[in-house]
Amino acid sequence: MIRLQIDGQTVEVAEGTTVLQAAKQAGVHIPVLCDHPALTSFGSCRLCLVEVEGARTLQPSCTMPVSQNMVIRSKTPAVEATRKFILELIFSERNHFCPFCQLSGGDCELQNAALEHGMTHWPMQPNWNDFPVDASNTFLLLDHNRCILCRRCARACSELVGMDTLGFAERGSATMLTADLGEQWGMSTCISCGTCEQVCPTGAMVNRFSAYQGHKSQAEAVPTVCVGCGVGCQTVVYVRDNRVIRIDGDFDAELNAGVLCREGRFEALLEKGDRVSQPMVRKDGKLVPCSWDEALSAAAAGLKDQPAAWASLRLPAEALATMKALCDAVNAPVAMIEAGVTGPIPPKLGMKVEDKLGSKDGVLSTSEWRGSFTEVYNVHAGANFKAAQAYGLTKEINANGKKSALVALADEIPSEALLDAVKPVGKLVVLASYKSMLTELAEVVLPVATWMEQSGHYVSLTGTVQEGRQLVKPVETVRSSEAALAGLVEKMGCSVKADWQAVLA
Ligand code: FES
């Protein structure tokens, strides 16, 4: 162990620790811009300079390893004055006019550092040259005027994601962030995973979903799990006024370590159509709104005679277990609703999953991406594929000759194959969040929650059981899938005992 002193405090840390990390352990705050805990130290911005006793000049704490009996001072007048000067230089390089930036007011690390150092104005005339704004990416905006060339984005793209799409061209004040060899971002090999935007310390990269929705500090940060596919990435979801405004990756997560894919970070926030907000039964050929009691009675009456059944793999384990127990009671097998292929997922994440599985195991595939030589992964398994396997759901069933069917679709989009499979069935009961071709065919529609409106557990492909938290409340007439299925169990008078945990243990 190495013993050193930081601002008068003695700390003991492991060999190889940087001064910045040791300061963190001692509870001493040192401002940073280019440094990020998930990335290798880089030492380019010099904001983290500290005084090291015996050293001729100030030293960057983010790259300097600790040594025995070191004495560090992080808040001397010389250190503070140098940091302020560095900030003044950064502000002079490009247009960092904060009032016109949507990150201003709490989410910009550059502005926060400036305020911390008492900057109230620019002592040096800023460079008002126009730098381009690249709006070609569907999910992200890149404003070069706000870029401080800290390279967090490019390092994240290389170190965490494995794409190496982002890089830098030219030298000195002409240095520019580039995608590939100077492509428009939206035309480049970028897979829109958004990791670069999550680590960007300024308003240079903007998430189009969270822009103008308020600051992170105004929202509740809820740790939860992505239900886009079976990988089971851990996320931090920002919720404000019963609305999800942003999804970030969790840098502390063992598997995904802050990285998400396009679907997990952005597409999960897209509405999939008009909501089903009330129970409905078909009368005179038309679906009409009714009470839950009436809808459940109609559904129960139609499902007594060995129905066919399908369940979405986006359902929590609790709902899947209830569905299986209910169908066992009426002697009906349950098939998994085949999840669409998810991808591309970041190469480094795909490699980790493959490593843990020991092979692609029929659930991963790789492909080359837009002519680059970086292999990206696709996932062929829904969020709760492993739980569904454990409960004994089958890959497919033959519904020919069945008089009724129960489909727990929830917020899944029905595939052509599912629509074809249910068409010959007489009475169709559908649990759905959105109106679709499937609800159009149904006799009874039960309105159920989307992934963000209910809590429950998910088993990742690598076998970890994780909790998905409820993030927002649905309207009163919408129930969780588990509650809807429990209501059906009661109406059908089945003696059903569903223990979601027992089989998974
Ligand atoms: Fe240390 Fe940038 S944070 S040099």
Q: Is 35 in the pocket of ligand 1 (CB under 6 A)?
A: yes
Residue 439 lies in a domain: yes
Residue 372 or residue 482, greater confidence = 482
| Ligand 1 atom at minimal distance to the Cα of residue 35 | 3
Q: Looking at the structure, tell me whether residues 70 and 138 fall in a common domain.
A: no
Percent of the chain with pLDDT over 90: 85
- Comparing C-alpha atoms, which of 60, 149, 44 is closest to residue 96? 149
CA 380 to chain centre: 18
- Which residue in the block uniquely carries the two structure tokens 């938290």? 469
pLDDT-based confidence at 339, cuts 50/70/90?
A: confident
| Ligand 1 atom at minimal distance to the Cα of residue 63 | 1
Q: Is 60 in the pocket of ligand 1 (CB under 6 A)?
A: yes
Mean per-residue pLDDT, 224-245: 97
**Both tokens of residue 37?**
């805990």
Residue 150 or residue 331, greater confidence = 150
**Cα(18) to centroid(ligand 1), Å:** 12
Q: Which of 269, 293, 309 is the last residue of a domain?
A: 269
Q: Looking at the structure, tell me whether residues 138 and 286 fall in a common domain.
A: no
- Under 8 Å CB-to-CB from 337, ≥6 apart: which residues? 310, 311, 312, 313, 382, 407, 409, 412, 414, 415, 418
Q: Looking at the structure, tell me whether residues 265 and 285 fall in a common domain.
A: no
The H or E element spanning position 262 is helix 262-265
pLDDT at 129: 87
Rounded distance between C-alpha atoms, residue 312 and residue 338, angstroms: 8
- Structural domain of 170: 102-107+124-269
pLDDT-based confidence at 503, cuts 50/70/90?
A: confident
pLDDT at 67: 97
- For residue 224, what are the CA distances in angstroms to 228, 264, 451? 12, 12, 11
Residue 473 lies in a domain: yes
CB of 274 closer than 8 Å to CB of 434: yes
Rounded distance between C-alpha atoms, residue 330 and residue 248, angstroms: 42
Q: Is 48 in the pocket of ligand 1 (CB under 6 A)?
A: yes
pLDDT at 370: 62
DSSP letters of 379-448? E-S-TTHHHHHHHT-BS----TT-SEEEEEEETPPPPHHHHHHHTT-SEEEEEESB--HHHHH-SEEEEB
pLDDT tens for each residue of 397-409: 888 888 899 999 9
DSSP letters of 299-325? HHHHTSS--EEEEETTS-HHHHHHHHH
Residue 348 lies in a domain: no
Helix, strand or coil, per DSSP, at residue 45: coil
pLDDT at 312: 97
Q: Looking at the structure, tell me whether residues 481 and 438 fall in a common domain.
A: yes
Rounded distance between C-alpha atoms, residue 273 and residue 275, angstroms: 6
Q: Is 110 in the pocket of ligand 1 (CB under 6 A)?
A: no
Rounded distance between C-alpha atoms, residue 286 and residue 20, angstroms: 67
pLDDT tens for each residue of 113-159: 999 999 988 889 888 889 999 999 999 999 999 999 999 999 999 99
Helix, strand or coil, per DSSP, at residue 191: coil
pLDDT-based confidence at 371, cuts 50/70/90?
A: low
Q: Looking at the structure, tell me whether residues 433 and 474 fall in a common domain.
A: yes
**Both tokens of residue 50?**
């500290």
**Which CATH number characterizes residue 234's domain?**
3.30.70.20
* Residue 289 in this model has a pLDDT that exceeds 80: yes
Establish whether the linkage from the previous residue to 60 is cis, with ω within 30° of 0: no
Rounded distance between C-alpha atoms, residue 379 and residue 364, angstroms: 5
- Comparing C-alpha atoms, which of 30, 32, 3, 27 is closest to residue 15? 3
Q: Looking at the structure, tell me whether residues 299 and 399 fall in a common domain.
A: yes
Residue 7 lies in a domain: yes
Q: Looking at the structure, tell me whether residues 202 and 160 fall in a common domain.
A: yes
Q: Is 31 in the pocket of ligand 1 (CB under 6 A)?
A: no
Rounded distance between C-alpha atoms, residue 271 and residue 374, angstroms: 31
Of 18, 21, 45, the one to substitute when testing ligand 1's pocket (max ligand atoms within 8 A of C-beta) is: 45
* Residue 311 in this model has a pLDDT that exceeds 90: yes
Residue 465 or residue 343, greater confidence = 465
DSSP letters of 51-101? EETT-SS-EETTTPBP-TT-EEESS-HHHHHHHHHHHHHHHHHS---GGG-
* Residue 477 in this model has a pLDDT that exceeds 80: yes
Name 407's bridge partners: 310, 430
Q: Looking at the structure, tell me whether residues 410 and 432 fall in a common domain.
A: yes
The pLDDT mean for the chain works out to 94
CB of 251 closer than 8 Å to CB of 273: no
* Residue 217 in this model has a pLDDT that exceeds 80: yes
Of 33, 40, 109, 150, the one to substitute when testing ligand 1's pocket (max ligand atoms within 8 A of C-beta) is: 33
pLDDT at 108: 96
**Cα(36) to centroid(ligand 1), Å:** 9
Q: Looking at the structure, tell me whether residues 292 and 432 fall in a common domain.
A: yes
Residue 424 lies in a domain: yes
How many domains are there within the chain?
3
Q: Is 140 exposed, middle or buried (0-12, 13-18, 19+ CB in 10 A)?
A: buried
Q: Which of 269, 290, 310 is the last residue of a domain?
A: 269
Rounded distance between C-alpha atoms, residue 499 and residue 505, angstroms: 11
Q: Looking at the structure, tell me whether residues 261 and 192 fall in a common domain.
A: yes
**Which CATH number characterizes residue 483's domain?**
3.40.50.740
Q: Looking at the structure, tell me whether residues 301 and 173 fall in a common domain.
A: no
Lowest-pLDDT choice from 14-18, 100-104, 310-314: 100-104
pLDDT-based confidence at 419, cuts 50/70/90?
A: very high
pLDDT at 162: 94
pLDDT-based confidence at 305, cuts 50/70/90?
A: confident
Mean per-residue pLDDT, 412-435: 93
* Residue 43 in this model has a pLDDT that exceeds 90: yes
pLDDT-based confidence at 372, cuts 50/70/90?
A: low
Residue 206 lies in a domain: yes
| Ligand 1 atom at minimal distance to the Cα of residue 44 | 4
Rounded distance between C-alpha atoms, residue 156 and residue 190, angstroms: 12
Q: Is 149 in the pocket of ligand 1 (CB under 6 A)?
A: no
- Side-chain half-sphere exposure of 208, counting CA atoms within 13 A: 15
Q: Which of 209, 244, 269 is the last residue of a domain?
A: 269
| Ligand 1 atom at minimal distance to the Cα of residue 41 | 1
- Side-chain half-sphere exposure of 63, counting CA atoms within 13 A: 13
**Which CATH number characterizes residue 28's domain?**
3.10.20.740
pLDDT at 459: 97
Rounded distance between C-alpha atoms, residue 139 and residue 192, angstroms: 7
Q: Looking at the structure, tell me whether residues 315 and 461 fall in a common domain.
A: yes
Mean per-residue pLDDT, 12-24: 97
- Which residue in the block uniquely carries the two structure tokens 């493959």? 354
pLDDT tens for each residue of 172-184: 888 999 999 999 9
Residue 351 lies in a domain: no
Rounded distance between C-alpha atoms, residue 153 and residue 148, angstroms: 11
pLDDT at 398: 82
- Strands 220-225 and 234-240 turn out to be antiparallel
The H or E element spanning position 378 is strand 375-379
Residue 376 lies in a domain: no
